[in-house]
Amino acid sequence: MSDNVIVLAGGLSHERDVSLRSGRRVAQALRDTGHTVLEADVNASLIDTIASVDDPVVFPVLHGGAGEDGALRSVFDLLGVPYVGSTGPASRIAFDKAVATPVVAVRAAGFRTPRQSSLPHDMFRELGAANLIAALGDQIGFPMMVKPARSGSALGCAKVAGASELPAAIVAAFSYGEIAIVEEFIEGVEVAVSVIDLGDGPRALPAVEIQPRSGVYDYTARYTAGETRFVTPADLPADQADRCAELALAAHGALGLRDLSRTDMIVCDGEPVFLEVNVAPGMTDTSLLPLAIEASDASFADVCSALVTVARRRATGTGTA
């Protein structure tokens, strides 16, 4: 059986640099576990590159855009190429916060989601900002969070304390996409719970507690060493940690995900509140999934290798779907 793996990183999204860093780490982990690895970017020669490799598995480590919206994964299905991670349709739902949050709210019964409103750019322009801002203030209340519906790494996200700050925050969110999400700000302990499935069913890894120095887990806090303190396992009572794991598994299942995911949440008054799911979690030295793996009984390299094995077995009909 072939051990060839194509690690796909880079792309054209705003998160290209993070993706490249993630890709390098995954590629090295796979080489360390005996795989033959080709690192590739998304460009016009990608399909030819895939065709030139004997029986490859693709390990996509693309963040944002085509890397997480399911488009490229659907192309892999069309080509009959096995890959690590969720399917195109499932990724498309999870990536769009305007869709994913209501889906989780309905299917993962018993867990809270924030009050949320999605605001298309054309409606903001045509109906007048003043009227919509007043309505958002009444419906959501302050403080609130504003973020793009289809983006990651906290790009375009802002905490808004009052109505005067809202127009600029919405415009900033629109710079990353056509739909802005406005939702209630949840005060509490910020944690992330990753889920992996190495062929024996999904399991939640230890929760990672996020303590940014600035108080906001923005792009700088996420990817600059020393800007955020991570506590793994999170400093939570056992019952709260269990509920966080249950929420991550419920979101993973509700959205039809496979192999790996990361659910971000806020523990408020002892209960986790769903924020969003990531189908292509970061794999850098400061990323949350690798930190959770290190806090479990596994190694990062072994998990990456096992995910490749699961993808290959799925393609040959000898593993899970």
Residue 124 and residue 116: Cα distance in Å, rounded? 16
Residues of the chain above pLDDT 90, percent = 70
Element (H, E) at 229: strand 228-231
Residue that is written with structure tokens 């490249």 in the block:
20
Residue 256 and residue 247: Cα distance in Å, rounded? 14
Residues 139-162 have a mean pLDDT of 86
CATH number for the segment(s) 116-184:
3.30.1490.20
Check residue 65 and give left, alpha or beta (phi > 0: left; psi -120 to 50: alpha). left
Q: Write out 168-192 in H/E/C secondary structure.
A: HHHHHHHCCCCEEEEEECCCCEEEE
Residue 132 and residue 125: Cα distance in Å, rounded? 10
**What is the value of pTM for the model shown?**
0.91
**pLDDT digits 0-9 by tens, 248-294:** 999 999 999 999 999 999 999 999 999 999 999 999 988 899 999 99
What backbone torsions phi and psi does residue 147 show, to the nearest 5 degrees?
-155, 155
Q: If DSSP codes are grouped into helix, strand and coil, which group holds residue 37?
A: strand
Residues 294-308 have a mean pLDDT of 95
Give the contacts of 2 (CB within 8 A, at least 6 positions apart): 54, 55, 56, 312
What b/e string do you get for 111-150 counting C-beta neighbours within 10 Å, with b at 16 or more? bbbbebbbbbeeebeeeeeeebbeebbeebeeebbbbbbb
- Please check the confidence at residue 91 and state whether its pLDDT lies above 50: yes
Closest CA to 173 of 159, 187, 163: 159
CATH number for the segment(s) 93-112+187-309:
3.30.470.20
Residue 308 pLDDT level (bands cut at 50, 70, 90): very high
- Residue spans of the domains in the chain: they are 4-85, 93-112+187-309, 116-184
Strand 144-148, strand 158-160: pairing: antiparallel
Residue 71 and residue 65: Cα distance in Å, rounded? 9
Q: Candidates 3.40.50.20, 3.40.1160.10, 3.40.718.10, 3.40.50.300; correct CATH number of 4-85?
A: 3.40.50.20
Residue 117 per-residue DSSP state: E
Residue 252 burial class via C-beta count within 10 angstroms: exposed 0-12, middle 13-18, buried 19 and up: buried
Average predicted confidence (pLDDT) for the chain: 91
- Please check the confidence at residue 321 and state whether its pLDDT lies above 60: no
- Please check the confidence at residue 133 and state whether its pLDDT lies above 70: yes
Residue 152 pLDDT level (bands cut at 50, 70, 90): low
In degrees, rounded to 5, the angle at the alpha carbon of residue 41 between the alpha carbons of residues 35 and 42 is 130
Beta bridge partners of 277: 263
- Please check the confidence at residue 1 and state whether its pLDDT lies above 60: no
**pLDDT digits 0-9 by tens, 25-47:** 999 999 999 999 999 999 999 99
